[in-house]
Structure 1
């Protein structure tokens, strides 16, 4: 196993800027914590995943913490994603897949290797070259905010973030409670228990679920996406929904200043 702990010298809330294109991200907001710290981990002791952890760039400028985890072979960079039902198939790096007579043929720059959950199950080289998933666990003091940029990583937020900016392609975000949420998602999924401040979501072929919205300004732009949101009696101000071939069902919002624009989509606000 390779593990790296990143201490943060600053005391109190911080603004985290995390770039990590694959693997799993867990952000834990702890009201009793005075200083943030980050733990990066992978099962491999050598190889590209272990090297990526060692080569992760870290910069602390006042209360601003920037962490950038390098890409590794087997993760997705520029890609094309096909969504069928609830399943995703992603092609990247000029690779090709053929299914002929029940046999699967894979060819591309990676040498035709096969990965399951980031773990190489067949190899054309030494076993040390296999990619293992990288996990990042971020512990933040109360009042902190975060920016997360990823392609396919699964992100889990426990506790309350003051603000979250989330940019993902085929990523999955699950969060307890967020003050301000700004999310841009393509073929991904966002599920948040509660949003108490401003809300902006740009959704393309993805899914958004918000259990309780009590902010004062909400803007939802969806293209072939699905939105389910429940506004509370504490919500105020404007709710703007722009839908192109998308579907939005929003309840508890009849008292808001609603503006909608629908093109070949379906928007229900009650």
Structure 2
């Protein structure tokens, strides 16, 4: 295993700016923490994934922590991804099939390989330089914020972020509780338990689920996407929904200032 621990000198809430296109992102907000903690790891001891961890750029300016995880050589850049029921299939490199979630890759150009759990399997056993998934783990103090940009990574947020900006393509985000949520989703999935502040989502062929919205301003823009959201009695202000070939079902919102625009889509607000 390759593991890199990153020291964060700043005390108190952190504004995390993360770019990581694949793998797993875990963010835990821990009110008992004084300083943020960052760990990057992968199963491989050498090869492209281990190199990507070593080459990750990290900078801290005041309370702003920037992390840039480079794409792994042999990854899925320049690819086309299809998402069905939360599962993805990616086609790239001019040939081959990749089932990203299960790490099964078959490609041409001189012979393909089969990857099981990120490790290449050959007739003589696993190869040492396989492209193994990278996991980035962030433990942040209370009132921290995050800006996350990814392609296919699975992102899991535990605890409460004061603000989350998320830009994902064919990725999956699950979060427990967020103050302000600003998300741009393409063929991906975003599931958030509670949103207590402003909500601004642009959804294209993806899925959005909000368990409880109690904020003061919400804007949902759907293009061939699906939204399910439940507003609470604490929610106030305006709810704006624009749907083009999309479907939105929003409950508990009859007391809000609702504005809707629908073009070949379906919006139900009650």
**What is the SS of the residue equivalent to 2:52?**
helix
1:250-261 residue pairs with structure 2 within 5 A?
250-261=250-261
Give the corresponding residue for 2:267: 267
Give 4+ residue runs of structure 1 displaced > 4 Å after superposition: none
How far the C-alpha of 1:134 sits from its partner, in A, is: 0.6
After superposition, the C-alpha distances for 1:28-50 in whole angstroms (9 at most, x for unaligned) are: 00101000010001111111111
Q: Is the 8 A contact 1:225 1:247 kept in 2?
A: yes
Q: Output the TM-score relative to the length of structure 1.
A: 0.92
Cα deviation code 1:129-182 (max 9, x no counterpart): 211111011010001000111111110001100000001111110000000000
8 Å contact kept, 2:86–2:189: no
Partner of 1:107: 108
- Corresponding residue for residue 119 of structure 2: 119
Residue in 2 aligned with 1:100?
none
Whether contact under 8 Å (2:161, 2:179) holds in the other structure is yes
Which residue does the alignment assign to 1:171?
A: 171
Using the alignment, how far apart are the partners of 2:175 and 2:50 within structure 1?
Answer: 28
User: Secondary structure at the residue paired with 1:50?
Assistant: helix
| 1:52-131 alignment runs, 5 A limit | 52-96=52-96, 106-108=107-109, 112-122=112-122, 127-131=127-131
> 1:48 maps to what in 2?
48
In the TM superposition, 1:86-235 aligns within 5 A as: 86-96=86-96, 106-108=107-109, 112-122=112-122, 127-235=127-235
- Which runs of 5 or more residues in structure 2 are unaligned? 98-104
Q: CA contact under 8 A between 2:119 and 2:127: conserved in structure 1?
A: no
Aligned equivalent of 1:36: 36
Q: TM-score, normalised by structure 2?
A: 0.92
SS of equivalent to 1:36: strand
Contact 1:74 1:118 in 2 (8 A): no
Asked if the contact 1:10/1:62 (under 8 Å) is kept, the reply is yes
Aligned pair count reads: 263
Q: Closer, same or farther in 2 for the Cα pair 1:73/1:121, shift >3 Å?
A: farther
| 1:114 and 1:123 in contact (8 A); partners too | no
C-alpha change, 1:128 and 1:105, in structure 2 (3 Å) is: closer
Given the superposition, is the C-alpha separation of residues 204 and 115 from structure 1 closer, same or farther in structure 2, using an over 3 Å criterion? farther
Taking the aligned partners of 2:189 and 2:139, their CA distance within structure 1 comes to 23
Distance 1:218 1:60, change over 3 A: same
Structure 1 pair 86–65 and aligned structure 2 pair: CA distance change class (3 A) = closer
CA spacing shift, 1:213–1:105, aligned 2, 3 Å = closer
The Cα of 1:122 is off from its aligned counterpart by 4.2
**Shift of residue 114 of structure 1?**
3.2
SS at match of 1:70: coil
Q: What is the RMSD computed on CA atoms of the aligned residues?
A: 2.1
Structure 1 match to 2:248: 248
Structure 1 238/122 Cα, relative in aligned 2: closer, same or farther at 3 Å? farther
- Distance (Å, rounded) in 1 between the aligned partners of 2:257 and 2:243: 17
